[in-house]
Structure formats: C-alpha cells, structure tokens
Structure 1
Amino acid sequence: MSLTMRRVRLTAAALAAITALSGLVACGEDAAGEKPAKLVVDTFGEFGYDEIVKQYEKDTGIKVELRKTAQLNDYRPKLVQAIATGEGAGDVVALEEGILNEFKVNPDNWVDLRRLVADHSNDYLAWKYELGVTPNGRLMGLPTDVGSLAVCYRRDLFAAAGLPTRRDKVAALWRDWTGFIETGEKYREATGKGMLDSVTTAASAVMYQKGGDLFYDDGDNIVAETSPSVKAAWNTAIAMADAKISAAAATWSPEWSSGFKTGTFAATLCPSWMLGVVAENSGPKNAGKWDVAPVPGGAGNWGGSWLGVPTQSRYPKEAAKLAEYLTSARSQIAAFKLKGPLPTNLDALQNTDFTGYTNKYFNNAPTGKIFGESVRRIQPLHLGPKHQAVKENALEPALRAYESGEATKQQAWRQFVNEARMEGSFRGW
C-alpha cells in the first residue's frame, strides 16, 4: 500500500548514524536465546492484521503489539529516525515500495530473512518477491500486498447524473481513458461538479499501467523527462484538467478525505489497498453506495509493501517467523477480506476464499475477482531510489499547478522536469 505525501530530508549526522549503527545487533540471534513476551509490528494505513495476530498470540504465547500510523507521511519520518538512531523501530516493520528502494542503499540495517525462514522464492508473484531482494542478495522483505487497480465510484451520485450504475455498464463507459474523460464530461454537464477526485490519481494509474522505467532507468539515472510512461501519464492528466472532470482535491488532504463522505466527487482510482481508505473516509452511512469497476485500459500496479526486520530488533528469529506468518497465504486472504490489501502469495490468489470474495461495503462487488483477474497482467516496472519523492514533490505539484491555473502547460512541464532532477538526485540512506 502506498499512502505517501512528501519527502523526508535527513541531516548529515542522521545519514552517518545509519551507517555507523547498522551492525550493532547481530543478525539472526535473539537476545540471550530467550523467547520474547511481546513483538512490535509497525505499519501504516490498514494492513488488516487486527484479527490475524490474535491467532498468532494463541499459537505462540507471544503478545503482538500493532503500532498503526494512519498515513505514510507520518510513519516514514519515525521509521527513518528509528533506523538512524538504532532504536525505536518495531521488531517487524512495513516497508512501502518507495521506502524499500531507499533503504536498499544500506541493507546492513536489515536482517537477511533467508537465513531465518523457509525458502519462499516460488510462493509469490516472481517480480514482487525479487523486489524484496537487495543488490547484494539479501532478502530484506517478505511480500505483503500489491496495488492492482480498479475504479471506486458512487452509485447514488452516478444515478443522480443520469449515468449507469451497474458495474458492467459502468465499465463499458470507460474501456479506455478517452471514455473515462467523456464520462466525466457528462457528469459535470449533469451536476456541475467534477466526477474524479484529482487528476493526480489518474496520472499515477496511467504511469503504473505502462510499467517499465518510470522516473529512473535501470542504472538509476533520472529519465523522467523522456520516459514514455511518464509522458502518457502527464498527457492523460492534462487532458482531464482541460476537460474539467475533477474536483481538484489534493490527494490525502483534509478536503480529499472529507470529500468521500460529502460527495465532493463520485470516483477515484482505486488500488486494492484503497478500499479500506475509501470505506474509512466515507463512513458507515455510505455503505452500499460505493461500487467497484475495472480500470480503463486494463491492469496496473499502484503501491504495495513488504515486511522487514530491522537488525536492531532484540528478537530477529521470532520477528522473522512473525513476518513469515503475516505474509502466508492464509493471512493474506484474511487481511484482504478485512481491509483490502491484495494478496501476492500465489496460493492465496488461487484460493476460492479470495477469488469468490464479495465486499459488502462496496455493494457486494466481487473484489476478489476484479482485482485477482488484473493482478497477473501487471507490467513489471522500475521505480528507482527516490521514486516517491519525484512523484509527490515534482509530478503531482506540477499537475496541480496547471489544473488550478497557476501555470501554463509549458510552465508546469518545466516545473516538473526541474523538480524531478532535484528530488531524484538524492540517492537514499
């Protein structure tokens, strides 16, 4: 899952501290060989572990404390500080795709999970598992979820605009992004409002659909200005801004969060992990009003995470076992049912408990089928070390500047290119 907001900057002292402290705790040895009374799991957003850990506690006698942070922009600096100082991180920590890439620069801060758990290299989507492996071969994280794409839409607001509400009819409206824009224009004509929350969510969806090199090439050189995936995302978002089909609600802002409940917009691009966010922001009174339809243009991957064990944990063996437990097929299915993170475990993706699952909050949408069918068509992509910083501090602000009329197309593009070079040049921790 990916609830990120802005780049975290570290002082030179903190940067040095990460390297200096990376070997203080022996990898793979629990403190004095003792069994822990408690293990701490740090996550952001909604990973769906609330019920799963209860069974783990019964099975092992080890208490599990879930430390959940609502948004990644709050979670990220706390984790950076904990790794930099050598204390304060959970025994198991969630590593979102952007964080994972940045921490790979110094993998010695992370336990090599291959030494402590069974061989799971064939248990997950192959590209997802490989992303958790560092350049020197260390297994830094076990895969949790993947952000396969769909569109969440408000049935009641579509009906009020004279649009179809059945998900098959809605999907037929936007077999491609041109159809999506045309639908947005009809919605605005009928209601005077933007159908989509923000053009930046659409830009993310298009970019991840295209795959390949996004802001970096495989040598981690900045190629944002020439990337076909970025160009496609940019042009689609600009077309949406020109058509005025969005509510221009900045993603993750208070206005965006409240807009789900108040009907400020009627649709958002919805990776699987976003289901829990939509339901949480919309509240119980809007249960059944939301539905889920396939994304225009086919599959795409927006977000996803891994579970890693910092070397500062006093109990790396038990922490690794807990990470293994939480990423098992059974646990991934349970997490999906509770909060929506899409499994990456191959057995989970084939299990009828997953493929046949319907989500009551979203008008009993067959979310297992919708997301499961698209996940295998995801194109591999290369994110690079500062992907999130470029996306959030360069691409999205430039698009919002154009959408709000603060910049022309040329000015907005130049703003993006300049900021991408600056944000992307910092190579991590």
Structure 2
Amino acid sequence: MRPRHWARVVVCVVVSTVAASCGAGGAANRTADGRTELTVATFNEFGYEELFKDYEAAHPDIKITQRKTGQGAPHHQNLFTKLGAGSGLADVEAVEEGYLSQVMARSDQFNDLMEIGPKGVTPDRWLKWKADAATTRDKRLIGYGTDIGPLAMCYRKDLFAEAGLPSEPEEVGRLFATWDSYFAAGDKFVAAISGVAWFDSAAQIFNAMHNQHDVGYFDSSDNLVVESNPDIRADWNAVTNAVAKGQSAKLTAFSTEWNTGFKLGRFATKTCPSWMLGVIETQAGPENAGKWAVTDAFPDGGGNWGGSYLTVPKQSRSPKEAAALAAWLTAPEQQIRAFQARGTFPSQVEALENRALVEHVNDYFGNVRAGALYAAQVQKVKAAQHKGPADGQIQENVFGPALQSVEQGKRADDAWRTALQEAKKAAK
C-alpha cells in the first residue's frame, strides 16, 4: 500500500491490545463489560472494517476500536517518537515498507512473532521476499505481511489513439519494453498532442525505476550509496531529460492538482502498482471509465512499490492477543476480503492462487482480469530491495522535492548536488 501512500494502498494498523494477560507494557485494558480492548490505528485504507466486526463476533471477549488517519507519515512519526520515549505505543503497529528499515534497526523493541504468534503461522505462508524483508539477521520475524504493490503500467487509450500510438493493451508492449523505449514514446506523444503530458510526476517515475534495482539508496550493510550507485544517477538523468523535453505534467502526487489531473486528462501514462487502480478510478471518475487501460508490460521488467506489515511492539500489554489478531487479519482468506473491499493486493502465497483473485475483473479498465494480471506481475519480483535507515525519508523528503525543483526550472545538475547533500544529512 504506498504511495507514495494510498490505499496501499496501504494502511498502518496499530492494535492497542487489551487482554486478559499482562504483557511487557503492563496490565491489559478492559472495557466496562469486561472485554479485552484492541485499538487499531490505521492510515489510508486496508479494507479491515468488516473484518473487525467478524473477529469480534468470533471472539466475544474482544473489543476492537479503530483509529484512522489520512496519511502514513504522521503515523510513522508518532511510532518512532513513542519508540524513543519507551511508552505510548499500541499493541499492534502496522509499518509501511518504506519505513520498515527504521523498525528493523530497532528490532529489539519488537516481539518475535515466531515466538508469540499462533503456531503454524510461519514465514513460508508469504512470498519469500516479503517475509525476508521483515526477518532480522538472527532470524526473528518482526512483522506479518499485509499487502504488496506489484507494478504494471496504466495509460489513456483514447489519448494514445489520438497521438497515433498503439492503444490496445496487447499492442503497447513494445512501447513499454524498456525505460528507453518508454521515454522515446513520450517524445512522440508530446510532439503529437499539445497540452497533455506523457506522465504525471518526475518523482513517481523515478521511484518506480529506483525500486527495480538490486541496490537502492543503501547497500546491504546500511551504507549510504547514493553517490556511488550508478543506477541512481542513470535514473536521475533519464527522468530529468524527459522533464526537459516536456514529458512531465509537473504534478505533486496525491495533491489536489494531481487528483484533478486524472479527471481532466492532463497526462497519458501512470506507473501502476496494484493499489493505483483504485486511485485512478476514484480520481478520474465515472466519466472516464473505459478510457484508462492497464497492461502487464512494464519497462525493464517488474517490480514492487508498496506494502505493509503488522508488528507487535514489546510495549504491548497483550502481545499474544495482538499477534493472534494480526495473524488473522493477514491470513489468506482475510487478504482476499481486503482485496475485494479496497484493492489491497495479497502477499500470501495461497491467496495469490485464490479464484476470487485470479478471476477478478475490473470493468473500469475495460473489463481487464486485473487479479490475474497482477498475480503474474508478482512472479517477476525475485527479491525485495534492501531498505536502509532513512530510506523512506530520502525517497520522499530528498529526491521527491529535488525532482520537483527540476520541474519548476532548477538545473538538473544543481538539484542533483542538493539531493546528495540532503541524503547525507538524512542518513546521519
């Protein structure tokens, strides 16, 4: 779920547990009628509302109270502040993958779910790379995987046809075969149609490219490698060159202007992790149904962008009860229901083979079998990119603003130097 964060696209779940037993955080909370109270704090949408009701019905001694905020950044700021303070956390905290590295750096403050979780809930239930990302070097499982964000490409069929480009999903593969071919098609598009950009935002394109690499902002030893990683500079050059040629709509993702851009057709293509389909449908509106299409062709292969985990901090007052709820919410059956409710794409192996997923048809995107399409995209992801300390901050607070400054007229080389300086500050 990321968004970078929508939906997720992602929801951060905090379960402030209250149970009959006492955990590391002290005595459990109870409601007036004697039930154990579990408080669940979320950002964006996970599709859990109906699931909470069902869990309560099956566990009459449990009361779940949900707290929801609009975006993930405030949730994570609160999480890390209370980790530092040593108190105040809920019993279950959901962590978006862009912030997971910071949690892993503080893994001693989180329970090992292999110890406190239900027996039989083991890492092999999840895609290997999904579980590996939440497993410490000493093999402690810190988080149960929720959603993921396999990448495809969305585009406006009508605008492609108007520009003289192939417009059917099975025809556009060659345009999206590589990033070079993608940007070359963008040159043709902006030359053919005035007033419409090829893509929405330089940062959104850069993030998708960056997430495909084996090594990102940090190496596996958590050393910052922004300056020495040639892939990062190559991505920067490709994206900023496209900006200079007029391919970017220069919109800040998830801003009001960006939302309106879908409705008004301000850009023709969109990097499309699975959760983005819901964003496009919501923002483009019913008047644009059938104009957007999604294809399994993605430049230079697949990738993942987004997803979260449910963790149980050692501050939890009822760690076993919290782990039981987190395990149930992330089980295959519930992952399918969350997908049906909010489009959050499952990370459990069994869920990826579920008929409700693979036979799911999205009528807004021309009756495409979106479940099967994204399930196939998942198989292109072989490993999760290592996310080092401050990875999320560097992506959102360093490279995002730096690329926006290029869109606003700053020289690309000057913006690059600024990004390097700010990345080093963020990594300290």
Q: Distance in 2 between matches of 1:399 and 1:219?
A: 27
Residues 1:203 and 2:206 aligned together: yes
The corresponding residue for 1:109 is: 109
2:133 to 123, 126, 131: 131
- For normalisation by structure 1, the TM-score amounts to 0.86
For 1:167-178, what aligned pairs fall within 5 Å after superposition? 167-178=169-180
Residues 354-392 of structure 1: CA deviation (Å, up to 9, x unaligned) = 222222333322222221112122142211011111112
Residues 36-82 of structure 1: CA deviation (Å, up to 9, x unaligned) = 44322222222222333332222223343332322222332233344
Alignment identity in percent? Answer: 39
Q: Does the aligned pair in 2 maintain the 1:4–1:72 contact within 8 Å? A: no
Residues 1:300 and 2:303 aligned together: yes
Distance 1:163 1:410, change over 3 A: same
Q: Distance in 2 between matches of 1:303 and 1:146?
A: 6
Residues 1:53 and 2:57 aligned together: no
SS of 2:227 mapped into structure 1: coil
- 1:315 shift after superposition: 2.6
Q: Distance in 2 between matches of 1:52 and 1:229?
A: 42
- 1:143 shift after superposition: 0.7
Kindly tell me the number of residue pairs found equivalent between the two proteins: 404
- For normalisation by structure 2, the TM-score amounts to 0.86
Distance 1:75 1:342, change over 3 A: same
The corresponding residue for 2:9 is: none
SS of 1:147 mapped into structure 2: strand
1:377 to 366, 377, 380: 380
- Of stretches 192-201 and 113-122 in structure 1, the one that deviates more from structure 2 is 113-122
The corresponding residue for 2:37 is: 38
2:332 to 309, 329, 332: 329
The corresponding residue for 1:397 is: 401
The corresponding residue for 2:23 is: 26
Distance 1:236 1:43, change over 3 A: farther
Q: Does the aligned pair in 2 maintain the 1:146–1:305 contact within 8 Å? A: yes
- 1:219 shift after superposition: 1.4
Q: Which residue identity is paired with 1:3?
A: P
Q: Distance in 2 between matches of 1:315 and 1:373?
A: 39
Q: Distance in 2 between matches of 1:383 and 1:360?
A: 36
Q: Does the aligned pair in 2 maintain the 1:30–1:317 contact within 8 Å? A: no
RMSD: 2.6
SS of 2:301 mapped into structure 1: coil
Q: Which residue identity is paired with 1:327?
A: T
Q: Distance in 2 between matches of 1:59 and 1:305?
A: 25
1:356 to 323, 348, 359: 359
2:156 to 140, 154, 157: 154
Q: Distance in 1 between matches of 2:29 and 2:148?
A: 37
Q: Distance in 1 between matches of 2:324 and 2:74?
A: 27
Q: Does the aligned pair in 1 maintain the 2:224–2:427 contact within 8 Å? A: yes
2:261 to 259, 262, 275: 259
Question: Structure 2: which 5+ runs fail to align?
Answer: 6-21
Residues 93-112 of structure 1: CA deviation (Å, up to 9, x unaligned) = 22011222112222243232
Q: Distance in 1 between matches of 2:368 and 2:81?
A: 41
- Of stretches 239-248 and 282-291 in structure 1, the one that deviates more from structure 2 is 282-291
- Of stretches 47-56 and 342-351 in structure 1, the one that deviates more from structure 2 is 47-56
- 1:85 shift after superposition: 4.6
SS of 1:220 mapped into structure 2: coil
- 1:309 shift after superposition: 2.0
Question: Structure 1: which 5+ runs fail to align?
Answer: 6-24
Q: Does the aligned pair in 2 maintain the 1:395–1:416 contact within 8 Å? A: yes
- Of stretches 396-405 and 416-425 in structure 1, the one that deviates more from structure 2 is 396-405
The corresponding residue for 2:219 is: 217
The corresponding residue for 2:346 is: 343
- 1:234 shift after superposition: 1.6
Distance 1:216 1:28, change over 3 A: same
- 1:335 shift after superposition: 1.8
Q: Distance in 2 between matches of 1:254 and 1:162?
A: 30
- 1:345 shift after superposition: 0.7
SS of 1:167 mapped into structure 2: coil
Q: Distance in 2 between matches of 1:316 and 1:360?
A: 42
SS of 2:364 mapped into structure 1: coil
